[in-house]
Structure 1
Amino acid sequence: MPLERDASGRTFIHHPSGQRTHYILNDFTDPWKSRETILIQHGFGRHAAFWYHWIPILSRKYRVIRRDLRGHGYSSYPQNSDKYDYTLNTILGEMIDTLDQLGVERVHFLGESTGGILGEIFAAKHPESLLSLTVCSTPIYLPPVALRLFAFGRKDWPTACRELGSRGWAEELSRIPGTIPVTDPQYLPWYLEQIAVSDGEGLAQYAKFLSTLDARPWLGRIKAPTLILSPTQSAAVKVEDMKVLAEKIEGSKLVLIEGPGHEIYVTQAKKCQQAFLGFLENLDRDITKGEN
């Protein structure tokens, strides 16, 4: 399957599933040096562009791949005529296919919110593909109370995405206190505009997939070095749950990120970046010690 670049310069992977995945690759490392790769996977409703502020600090030392999930951003989603097996194995298979087509064997996986659920299962099922796992503001599954919240009075979460559209759904989310506590008055309009890049139907299909996604059976099988970045004031993730997660993943490191809101990768970006880079640097030192 060939790589593709459209007229706007966006880059895509074509999968055997018939779908295509939009990705952004940034690499400002010294070209004569070997470098490792970071794969960033965003949370629900967002897409690759939301991580723009992480790229300058990460891409100087690492090759960084940001990919849009199925039905998010500029990635496609199944149409009525498509024969698409919308399952965990398909979604994970497309992640593997992305890496294969880009010639990447192993990555440091960085998953935010529900993107981290995928990362946890990915780490358990495909340990050969991971150098490390980092999850940020990540629940291990979405309980019924969360699914009801995301429905915003509709029949269910997918229905809310279809009826409200992507922007309308995000507007409802933004009204929940502390969800998007960014003080810059120009941030929310930009946020909503970016959410609107995705189609409501694409988000609805992925919401249905997420509604049954559960990392709990897989946590004990994760062997990759793991960092857990936990918000202290999230409406969706409790510190107590993150402590339980740290106990389930042997040898994992839990870092509490003080500050309001769920999307700490934005509101507390510097703290998260420092913790993440420190974690990766410690891995490098451990590897170097082992070689000596």
Structure 2
Amino acid sequence: MTGPDRFVDLPEGPRICYRVEGPDDGVPVLLIAGLGLDLTSWPRRMVEGLLDRGARVVVFDNRDAGCSTRVRAPSPSPLHSVLGRPGPDSYDLGDMATDTVGLLDHLGIERAHVVGMSMGGMIGQTLAARHPDRAATLTSIFSTTGRRRVGRVAWSSLVRMGGPPARTVEESVRRHLAFLRHIGSAVFPPDRAEEVAWATGLWERAGGVRARSGVPRQIGAIHASGDRTRELARIGAPTLVVHGDVDLMVHPSGGRATARAVPGARFVEIEGMAHHLAPGVVDRLAGLIGDHTARVRI
């Protein structure tokens, strides 16, 4: 996203950083980023695809990411994270959905098309279930229900997520590229230059060594929320669920379970797509989202 960072101090909540692009009278499309990602994680080409359809695109940094507030609470221990147990003072996905509704309130947006990827998909699901009047449609991209038997992260990915935080921007970029080589797709490879620029920008926007300091607490929020399958049955917004068939971060069973849980949801599995918004899939995703949102007028 281009444009300046803006901020809102939510009542009894964190300070949220956001950006808005598109006409003031455009159809609101809210993009919710995933675990440890910031508002710049949405590919420019994908955003432009939505803008070309007349959207007013809103992106933001979740709490504990980007330029938004770092929560003053202990991080779950590595053991808690591996065992899937939240920390003693964990917030949950409901709190993050409340942050999101607070941002919509601040912007004067009564209803929006809600799009979330990975953890952002979980936040979007929770928003649509608990605040049905705010979600015109829901699009959940490579996400899951919280049920332990579905959508599990591969052990090979889990092992690579461990270790101490990077101490320099060069180390952070190297780690990002190495992790992307693991979870990425040979069918839809990443653009290395774009990934270097994004990882460098993430480090600089989020204050260097603190850039990923909130990730354990965000993981704790997912664990604290548990199995949300029954809650997803309350979603009334038209729902599109998109997943790749080679995802090593959220197994494709998570996407299928999400589509089964949400009444009337449409499931699209993209062959060769991994847990990454690669250049080869962003046009298709923008088209899927644009067609899905066009069915409901706001």
Q: TM range, normalised to the smaller chain?
A: 0.7 to 0.9
Aligned letter for 1:113? S
Runs of 5+ unmatched residues, structure 1: 1-7, 288-292
Which residue does 1:254 correspond to in 2?
267
Do 1:257 and 1:272's aligned partners in 2 also have CA atoms closer than 8 Å?
no
Runs of 4+ with >3 A deviation: 142-145, 147-151, 160-166, 168-172, 211-214, 237-241, 264-267
Is the 2:73–2:90 Cα contact (8 Å) retained in structure 1? no
Distance 1:149 1:17 in 2: 39
Q: How much does 1:128 deviate?
A: 1.1
Q: Does 1:193 align with 2:188?
A: no
Aligned partners of 1:224 and 1:149: how far apart in 2? 35
For residues 110 and 231 of structure 1, the distance between their equivalents in structure 2, rounded to whole angstroms, comes to: 16
| Counterpart for residue 5 of structure 1 | none
1:210 to 198, 208, 222: 222
Percent of aligned pairs with the same amino acid: 21
What is aligned with 1:67?
A: 60
Kept in 1: contact 2:144–2:250 (CA 8 A): yes
Change over 3 Å in CA distance of 1:14–1:127 after alignment to 2? same
Deviation, structure 1 residue 149: 5.0
Contact 1:231 1:256 in 2 (8 A): yes
- Matching residue within 92, 104, 112 for 2:117: 112
Contact map agreement 1:38 1:63 (CA 8 A) in 2:
yes
CA root-mean-square deviation: 3.0
**Contact 1:26/1:55 (8 A) holds in 2:** no
Match of 1:23 in 2: 18
> Could you tell me how far apart the structure 2 residues matched to 1:187 and 1:174 are?
12
Instruction: Please name the residue that 1:13 is paired with.
Output: 8
Listed one character per residue, the Cα deviations across residues 53-110 of structure 1 (whole Å, up to 9, x for unaligned) are 22222224121110111111111212369xx973344322211111111111111100
Give runs of aligned pairs for residues 1-292 of structure 1, distance below 5 A: 9-28=4-23, 34-51=25-42, 52-60=44-52, 61-79=54-72, 86-141=91-146, 143=148, 146=153, 151-152=158-159, 160=162, 163-164=165-166, 167=172, 170-171=176-177, 173-178=179-184, 182-196=189-203, 197-198=205-206, 199-213=211-225, 214-264=227-277, 266-284=279-297
Cα distance in 1, alignment partners of residues 165 and 71 from structure 2: 18
Cα distance in 2 for residues equivalent to 1:101 and 1:232: 38
TM-superposed deviation, 1:250? 1.1
Q: CA deviation at 1:129?
A: 0.9
TM-score (norm 1): 0.79
- Counterparts of 1:216 and 1:203, CA distance in 2: 24
Distance 2:114 2:27 in 1: 11
Give the letter aligned to residue 127 of structure 1: P
The alignment of Structure 1 onto Structure 2 pairs a total of residues equal to 267
The residue matched to 2:214 in structure 1 has which SS?
helix
SS in 1 for 2:19: strand
Following TM superposition, by how much is the alpha carbon of 1:261 offset from its aligned partner in structure 2, in angstroms?
A: 1.9
Q: Which amino acid aligns with 2:291?
A: G
1:248 CA drift (Å): 1.8
After superposing the two structures, state which structure 1 stretch, 10-19 or 96-105, moved more.
10-19
The verdict on how the C-alpha distance between 1:185 and 1:27 changes in structure 2, with shifts beyond 3 A counting, is closer
1:211-270 Cα deviation digits (max 9, x unpaired): 333432311111111011121222234444433322221111112223342214644001
Normalising by the residue count of structure 2, what TM-score does the alignment of the two structures yield? 0.77
Q: Contact 1:136/1:265 (CA < 8 Å) preserved in 2?
A: no
Alpha-carbon shift at residue 143 of structure 1 (Å): 4.5
In the superposition, relative to structure 1, how do residues 233 and 282 fare at CA in structure 2: closer, same or farther (>3 Å)? Answer: same
Greater shift after overlay, 252-261 or 85-94? 85-94
Structure 2, unmatched stretches of 5+, are 75-88
Q: Tell me the secondary structure at the aligned position of residue 66 of structure 2.
A: coil
